[in-house]
């Protein structure tokens, strides 16, 4: 088939058009992108000719999780289906450049078609096709091609405390509670992550005073402080032989073992 330059042509032939990508994976940092080069052609007789001043449509299987821009970085305009976007006009060689990027790791199928969708969820929508709608066939959307792109997790560059845990003061021997605590994670973009106990190191429930605890997430660290109070001693305890109920500083309490007398000696439970 002969390729003949032409200033403009009024039709787009999906079968004569092509889509290429400069790579199949990129970091999901919201900045890096995959360049898609779309060549819009038509066929006259047996001759393939470029179609200039034409638009086509692009969509991602993950919807607006991924974003499309032109070569200048300007966001593409959504069509009637908000998950389908209109490309720039093709140049005199029939070429259109589109860039796709994301801040969310995962795999996307990116489709390019020639039909403007009539509505969201319609059978002529590229997104419906990508979403598995059996009515939205490749023929209905005039599919040119689709490409699989993997957005890899961007490396974590730093973390910082965002919200301190609700509990920062502990009684002697009390277990750590990080409820309410969050950190800011920077990995291309920033996100908020809730603290979990397995992120924390350095806590000793029997070490009195201020303690600096270390938070570790994805190889990065930050810190916060807690305080463990001294063990308080009871001023008075009244216990009764054979009874688990007792009185400590005028407050009723219960122990799991009752005092008893053995071989003339009084035995009673002791707890640290």
pLDDT tens digits for 180-234? Answer: 999 999 987 888 999 999 999 999 999 999 999 999 999 999 999 999 998 766 6
- Please tell me which residue, 246 or 184, carries the higher pLDDT value: 184
| pLDDT, greater one: 88 or 189 | 88
| Residues shown for the chain | 272
Q: Provide the CA 84 distance to its chain's centre, in angstroms.
A: 22
Task: Return the number of other C-beta atoms located less than 10 Å from residue 212's C-beta.
Answer: 10
The token pair at 50 is: 């470029």
Kindly tell me if the per-residue pLDDT of 132 is higher than 80.
yes
Burial of 192 (0-12, 13-18, 19+ CB in 10 A): exposed
pLDDT value, residue 260: 86
pLDDT tier at 8, thresholds 50, 70, 90: very low
pLDDT recorded at residue 139: 94
The model's confidence at residue 3, banded by pLDDT at 50, 70 and 90, is very low
Position 246 scores a pLDDT of 84
Model pLDDT for residues 90-110, shown as the tens digit of each residue: 999 999 999 999 999 999 999
Q: Which residue has the higher pLDDT, 72 or 11?
A: 72
Structure-block tokens of residue 34:
């995959």
Q: What is the pLDDT of residue 9?
A: 43
- Measured in whole angstroms, the distance separating CA 89 from the mean position of its chain's CA atoms is 33
What's the 3-state SS for the chain? CCECCCCCCCCCCCCCCEEEECCCEEECCCCCCEEEEEECEEEECCEEEECCCCCCEEEECCHHHEEEECCCCCECEECCCCCEEECCCCCCCCEEEEEEEECCCEEEEEEEECCCCCCCCCCCCHHHHHCCCCCCCCCCCCEEEEEEEEEECCCCCEEEEEECCCCCEECCCCCCCCCCCEEEEEECEEEEEECCHHHEECCCCCCCEEEEEEEEECCEEEEEEEEECCCCCCCCEEECCCCCEEEECCEEEECCCCCEEECCEEECCCCC
Q: Which two tokens stand for residue 65?
A: 């999780």
Residue percentage of the chain with pLDDT more than 90:
71
pLDDT at 2: 40
Q: pLDDT tens across 16-47, in order?
A: 999 999 999 999 989 999 999 999 999 888 88
The per-residue pLDDT for 239 is 85
Measure the CA–CA gap between 189 and 162, rounded to whole angstroms. 15
Report whether pLDDT(145) > 90.
yes
Say what the pLDDT of residue 17 is.
95
Q: How confident is the model at residue 235 (pLDDT cuts 50, 70, 90)?
A: low
Tens-digit pLDDT profile for residues 156-171? 999 999 999 999 999 9
| Of 115, 85, 92, residue with least CA distance to 7 | 92
Confidence of residue 236 (pLDDT cuts 50, 70, 90): confident
- d(Cα 188, Cα 74) in Å, to the nearest integer? 20
Comparing 45 with 138, the larger pLDDT belongs to 138
Alpha-carbon torsion (78, 17, 91, 32), positive or negative:
positive
Average predicted confidence (pLDDT) for the chain: 91
């Amino acid at each position: 088939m002969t390729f003949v330059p032409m200033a403009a042509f009024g039709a787009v032939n999906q079968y004569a058009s092509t889509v290429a990508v400069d790579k199949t994976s990129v970091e999901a940092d919201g900045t890096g992108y995959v360049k898609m080069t779309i060549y819009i052609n038509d066929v006259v007789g047996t001759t393939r000719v470029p179609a200039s001043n034409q638009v086509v449509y692009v969509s991602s299987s993950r919807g607006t999780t991924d974003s499309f821009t032109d070569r200048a970085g300007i966001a593409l305009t959504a069509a009637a289906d908000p998950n389908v976007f209109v490309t720039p006009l093709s140049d005199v060689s029939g070429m259109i450049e589109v860039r796709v990027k994301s801040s969310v790791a995962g795999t996307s199928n990116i489709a390019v078609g020639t039909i403007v969708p009539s509505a969201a969820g319609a059978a002529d929508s590229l997104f419906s096709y990508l979403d598995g709608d059996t009515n939205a066939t490749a023929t209905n959307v005039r599919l040119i091609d689709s490409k699989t792109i993997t957005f890899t997790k961007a490396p974590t560059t730093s973390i910082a405390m965002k919200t301190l845990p609700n509990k920062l003061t502990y009684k002697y021997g009390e277990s750590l509670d990080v409820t309410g605590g969050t950190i800011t994670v920077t990995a291309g973009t920033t996100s908020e992550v809730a603290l979990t106990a397995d992120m924390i190191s350095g806590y000793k429930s029997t070490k009195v005073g201020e303690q600096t605890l270390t938070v570790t997430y994805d190889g990065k660290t930050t810190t916060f402080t807690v305080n463990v109070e001294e063990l308080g001693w009871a001023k008075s305890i009244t216990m009764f032989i054979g009874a688990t109920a007792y009185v400590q500083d005028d407050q009723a309490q219960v122990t799991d073992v009752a005092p008893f007398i053995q071989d003339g000696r009084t035995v009673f439970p002791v707890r640290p």
